[in-house]
């Protein structure tokens, strides 16, 4: 039982670490901070750590609503008009990976959550 919990915890921490990297790359500082809080709570084995992780998925503006896109900054009307619609290949790949990681985070945090 303890070994299974340890494996789940390792997978959860790994997924949160990878999420943190993606969030940092795309300038999502509030999500970087959330990942840091979750990793710290999991590292200290706080009993409410899995619930803290799961709280990131609740309601509007949660992790499951997030779409990663590179900041465009100030651009001219010509640059905006010439921009291809949708996400770039890199952005699409990042969002696909984020979707996979979110599933791992949700699954592992749910399994570790003893406060249901």
| pLDDT at residue 84, rounded to an integer | 67
pLDDT tens track for 31-57: 999 999 999 999 998 999 999 999 999
Question: Which of 28-42, 48-62, 86-100 is predicted most confidently?
Answer: 28-42
How far is the CA of 83 from the CAs of 26, 52, 65, 77, in angstroms? Answer: 19, 39, 24, 10
Boundaries of every domain in the chain: 2-112
Of 11-15, 87-91, 96-100, give the lowest mean pLDDT range: 87-91
Average pLDDT, the chain: 89
114, 47 in Cβ contact below 8 A?
yes
| pLDDT at residue 115, rounded to an integer | 62
80/28: higher pLDDT: 28
89, 68 in Cβ contact below 8 A?
no
The pTM score is 0.85
């Amino acid at each position: 039982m303890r070994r299974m919990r340890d494996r789940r915890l390792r997978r959860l921490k790994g997924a949160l670490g990878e999420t943190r990297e993606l969030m940092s790359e795309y300038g999502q500082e509030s999500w970087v901070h959330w990942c840091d809080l979750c990793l710290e709570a999991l590292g200290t084995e706080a009993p409410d750590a899995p619930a803290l992780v799961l709280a990131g998925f609740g309601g509007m503006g949660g992790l499951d609503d997030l779409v990663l896109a590179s900041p465009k900054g100030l651009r001219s009307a010509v640059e905006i008009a010439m921009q291809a619609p949708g996400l770039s290949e890199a952005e699409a790949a990042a969002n696909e990976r984020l979707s996979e990681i979110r599933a791992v985070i949700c699954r592992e945090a749910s399994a570790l959550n003893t406060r249901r």
